[in-house]
Amino acid sequence: MNEGLLLVERMILESIERTQKSIAEIAYDTGLRTNLVCTLISHLVMDNIVILRKGKYMLNYDEKDQWIGLINNPVHIQNEVKELFISLINSHFELSEKKQYGLKIKKIWLNKFDEKILEAHFNNLNEFIVNLEKYPQRRKQEKLKEKRVVFWGQSFYGDLAEESLKAS
């Protein structure tokens, strides 16, 4: 596990963090195939992150100090974000006719006034997202697979081009 977790492993951990579950319940909550959940959960058990009690899987809070640092390692979180971006891009181009996946990228010039307006919109969006997170009762009622992943932000085109040269 030194290389971090896969996105689907993190999804399983989020599912059982909400409430302990059986393999079938995890598969239902996450939308992952049952055989994939079985394979992934066995690795999480071997890594001592997850335990099985009375037919239900739960996080191993007794050994949390042993695994939480690896899971929350900034490099591992960065890899998860990359995996989310790649998945979003792939979904956009494969499922664009369904219009379920919104990915909008525009290269635009902004003057100082436009920058302030854009910043205000980002602040409004951020405030909206923060307010949605204040209602934890939604967490247990909804299937994890129906949780939305929302991206927003901006960068200078030149900075992105420079960064792409580093990544190559």
pLDDT of residue 59: 96
All structural domains of the chain: 7-70 (1.10.10.10), 104-167 (no CATH)
3-class DSSP state for residue 116?
helix
Instruction: Name residue 57's beta-bridge partners.
Output: 21, 52
Residue 167 vs residues 152, 163, 164: alpha-carbon distances, Å: 21, 6, 5
Cα end-to-end distance, the chain, whole Å: 25
pLDDT of residue 168: 55
pLDDT in tens, 16-32: 998 999 999 999 999 99
In the predicted structure, residue 143 carries a pLDDT above the cut 80: yes
In the predicted structure, residue 119 carries a pLDDT above the cut 90: yes
pLDDT in tens, 82-104: 888 888 888 777 765 666 557 78
- Give me the half-sphere count of Cα atoms (radius 13 Å) on the Cβ side of residue 70: 16
Token pair of 72 as six digits: 């929350």
